[in-house]
Amino acid sequence: MDFLSNLKKPTTVDRFHLRKVIHAPVTKGRLIVSAERFGNLNPLPIDLGSVVIYCFARAKTLEDYFVNENERKTSFLLIPKILSEYECNMGSVSKVPAYCHETG
């Protein structure tokens, strides 16, 4: 967390801690960060005035991308579940203000 504490200018942090509590249970079948650790991560972004910009695409767009790019890390069959988990949990998992933006 020293990284965040020592920032001197606005910085983008891609897929920070929310990914660990929303995405991982779907793709890995378990949390990859403990509730205690997540609790320690959550206040700092709030104190720094951070916001979450959640960019998403429709499931069909993502499926097409996965097929075209030969994506193998995540099955495109999980996309609807992952999108649903973000939609349902974005506001409850973190108290950092979140803004949603649909892409492509």
Greatest Cα-to-Cα distance within the chain, rounded to the nearest angstrom: 41
| pLDDT in the model for residue 92 | 67
Most trustworthy range by pLDDT among 6-15, 26-35, 72-81: 72-81
Average pLDDT over residues 45-71: 82
Alpha helices in 1-104 (DSSP H): 2-5, 17-22, 24-28, 35-41, 43-47, 59-69, 79-93
Say whether pTM exceeds 0.75. Answer: no
Between residues 61 and 104, the one the model is more confident about = 61
Beta bridge partners of 99: 53
Q: Residue 34 pLDDT more than 80?
A: no
**Count of C-beta atoms within a 10 Å radius of residue 6:** 7
Q: Per-domain residue ranges for the chain?
A: 14-102
